[in-house]
């Protein structure tokens, strides 16, 4: 792929606003046919010219218990002509894509001793910082490196993580001049690397694609491309026993919904901790003993699954999802949705979210991510390449019968626009307060799946209601 670095092309590029530059970068990234091309575009166009970094490096980190596998993959740097000439004589420069006055933008040999010397010493001066961004998957801004004794750099920099496979993370290090306004640049950087992250997941030649089991009751193409309606069942509150009459009533309700055209059974699983203090209704959970809670839930699912043909979407509103995932796979569910946050009131992703999502890719199951109403969309964008469906909560998770929160409509619209721009096959589900009065607006903003509870319970002419929920 050819990238134009002629003076006229660069001048036109610099005349654009930052959002316009990002649109061009996104278009170039989408044309990439290999991870190498995508990374090169993001570093050259998006970082060096779009955001005025003085240098850019990319490290590839493979997850190990000690986090020792760190490899320098790409290095771009603005050099003075005298420095560039010295490096040319030492064969350290691979390419010189651009010259501006007495400065040269050079791609340096990442395997050379001079470039990789930091990696030879324990292995980087930023080892702990690398560990932090890898574990949190959030950018780290170092605006005053001179105040940190362990750092050799004296120029401010950003470490920006991009997960590119379940066990591998790329960390971009962008160095700037002193006095750089990071607050102005960070949102654009997040958008840039979200595009890059999602593109890397799409490049089949290196990372491959997750195969889907014939046992799954719904295909990804259906989840991402068709208008669907789900019926929601709450698994709460604190109850030690489930009466057979309650189970029979649930089965009858689910089967009636299926006959009326409902496409999914959406099961909200709560541990009494994630949404503590909310009043819930439903047959299954125990707050006193998490193991007991799961045993009751497992019995419920084992009873339910053979009695319905609907695909089962399990939304884990629990503080320890990993203890549920393997058993849910054994029972057989079709979509496992993890709440991005640690609890119902939180507005930022939990620290272990990237590893939870990556763990689901070991199994033949669709992967979902749910977002609290107050969580900004930008905080989950780096993870969108890991999921099949994003559920935008339009109520506070946990209680049925709440009123729809219209402020989430813009979030749905922004998410759909991002998915289209990044060419992601992404299902968008709205969950909470859905009814015939608001569903048209929800779908027009980009949600192809809507999940309802109250709107589908004890309603005459349920088939007509379901049809209107689909067609709006």
- Confidence band for 465, pLDDT divided at 50, 70 and 90: very high
DSSP 226-259: S-EEEEEEEE-SSBS---HHHHHHHHHHHHHHHH
Please determine, for residue 180, whether its predicted confidence score (pLDDT) is greater than 70: yes
Q: Kindly report the average pLDDT of the chain as a whole number.
A: 77
Q: Could you tell me which of 437, 421, 419 has the C-alpha nearest to residue 429? A: 419
In terms of pLDDT, which residue wins out, 176 or 238?
176
In terms of pLDDT, which residue wins out, 120 or 309?
309
The reported pLDDT for the residue numbered 304 is 81
Please determine, for residue 436, whether its predicted confidence score (pLDDT) is greater than 90: yes
* CA dist., res. 205 & res. 34, Å (int): 7
- Confidence band for 335, pLDDT divided at 50, 70 and 90: very high
The reported pLDDT for the residue numbered 301 is 80
Q: Note whether 59 and 43 are within 8 A (CB).
A: no
In terms of pLDDT, which residue wins out, 389 or 168?
389
At 2-51, the pLDDT tens digits run 555 566 766 777 777 767 777 777 777 777 777 677 777 777 665 555 56
Q: Note whether 310 and 338 are within 8 A (CB).
A: no
Q: Note whether 319 and 294 are within 8 A (CB).
A: no
| Top-confidence range, 64-68, 78-82, 179-183 | 78-82
* CA dist., res. 187 & res. 185, Å (int): 6
**Per this entry, what is the length of the chain?**
472
- Which residues neighbour 347 within 8 Å (Cβ) at sequence distance 6 or greater? 341, 372, 374, 375, 376
Please determine, for residue 286, whether its predicted confidence score (pLDDT) is greater than 50: no
- Confidence band for 401, pLDDT divided at 50, 70 and 90: low
Tokens of 74: 């790409």
Please determine, for residue 178, whether its predicted confidence score (pLDDT) is greater than 70: yes
Other Cβ atoms closer than 10 A to 82:
9
| Top-confidence range, 48-62, 197-211, 344-358 | 344-358
The reported pLDDT for the residue numbered 285 is 44
| Top-confidence range, 19-28, 301-310, 383-392, 454-463 | 383-392
Please determine, for residue 120, whether its predicted confidence score (pLDDT) is greater than 60: no
Report the side by side order of strands in the sheet with 93-100.
Answer: 93-100, 103-108, 69-80, 55-62, 168-175, 157-165, 140-142
Q: Could you tell me which of 430, 399, 413, 436 has the C-alpha nearest to residue 264? A: 430
- 264: helix, coil or strand? strand
Strand partners, 108: 93
* CA dist., res. 255 & res. 278, Å (int): 28
Helix, strand, coil percentages in the chain from 3-state DSSP, rounded to 5: 40, 20, 35
Phi then psi dihedrals of residue 316, to 5 deg: -85, 100
Percent of the chain whose predicted confidence (pLDDT) is above 90? 24
Mean pLDDT of 133-161: 75
* CA dist., res. 280 & res. 205, Å (int): 47
| Top-confidence range, 153-157, 252-256, 334-338 | 334-338
Q: Environment class of residue 57 by beta-carbon count within 10 Å: exposed (0-12), middle (13-18) or buried (19+)?
A: buried
Please determine, for residue 108, whether its predicted confidence score (pLDDT) is greater than 90: no
Please determine, for residue 293, whether its predicted confidence score (pLDDT) is greater than 70: no
Please determine, for residue 118, whether its predicted confidence score (pLDDT) is greater than 80: no
Spell out the domains of the chain, with CATH numbers in brackets.
7-76+114-206 (3.30.450.40), 220-471 (3.20.20.70)
């Amino acid at each position: 792929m050819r990238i134009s670095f002629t003076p006229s092309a660069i001048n036109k590029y610099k005349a654009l606003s930052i959002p316009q530059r990002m649109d061009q970068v996104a278009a170039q990234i989408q044309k990439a046919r290999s991870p190498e091309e995508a990374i090169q575009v993001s570093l050259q166009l998006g970082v060096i010219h779009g955001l005025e970094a003085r240098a850019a490096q990319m490290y590839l980190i493979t997850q190990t218990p000690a986090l020792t596998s760190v490899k320098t993959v790409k290095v771009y740097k603005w050099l003075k002509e005298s420095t560039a000439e010295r490096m040319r004589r030492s064969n350290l420069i691979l390419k010189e894509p651009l010259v501006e006055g007495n400065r040269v933008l050079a791609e340096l040999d990442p395997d050379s001793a001079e470039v990789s010397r930091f990696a030879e010493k324990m292995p980087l001066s930023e080892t702990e910082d690398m560990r932090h961004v890898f574990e949190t998957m959030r950018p780290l801004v170092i605006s005053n490196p001179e105040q940190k004794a362990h750092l050799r750099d004296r120029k401010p920099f950003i470490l920006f993580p991009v997960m590119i496979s379940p066990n591998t993370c790329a960390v971009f290090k962008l160095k700037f001049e002193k006095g750089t306004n990071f607050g102005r640049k960070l949102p654009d950087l997040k958008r840039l690397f979200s595009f890059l992250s999602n593109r890397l997941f799409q490049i089949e030649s290196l990372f491959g694609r997750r195969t889907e089991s014939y046992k799954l009751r719904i295909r990804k193409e259906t989840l991402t491309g068709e208008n669907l309606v789900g019926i929601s069942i709450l698994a709460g509150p604190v109850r030690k026993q489930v009466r057979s009459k309650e189970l029979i009533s649930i089965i009858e309700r689910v089967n009636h919904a299926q006959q009326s055209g409902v496409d999914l059974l959406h099961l909200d699983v709560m541990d009494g901790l994630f949404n503590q203090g909310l009043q819930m209704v439903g047959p299954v959970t125990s707050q006193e003993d998490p193991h007991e809670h799961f045993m009751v839930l497992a019995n419920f699912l084992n009873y339910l699954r053979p009695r319905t043909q609907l695909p089962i979407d399990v939304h884990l509103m629990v503080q320890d999802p990993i203890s549920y995932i393997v058993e849910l796979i054994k029972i057989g569910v079709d979509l496992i949705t993890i709440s991005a946050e640690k609890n119902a009131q939180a507005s930022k992703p939990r620290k272990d979210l990237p590893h939870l999502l990556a763990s689901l890719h070991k199994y033949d199951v669709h992967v979902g991510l749910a977002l609290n109403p107050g969580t900004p969309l930008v905080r989950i964008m780096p993870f969108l390449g890991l999921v099949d469906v994003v559920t935008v909560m339009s109520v506070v998770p946990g209680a049925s019968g709440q009123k729809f929160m219209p402020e989430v409509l813009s979030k749905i619209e922004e998410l759909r626009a991002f998915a289209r721009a990044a060419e992601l096959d992404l299902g968008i589900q709205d969950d909470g307060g859905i009814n015939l009065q608001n569903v048209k607006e929800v779908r027009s903003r980009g949600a192809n799946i809507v999940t309802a509870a109250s709107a589908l319970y004890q309603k005459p002419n349920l088939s007509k209601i379901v049809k209107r929920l689909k067609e709006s």
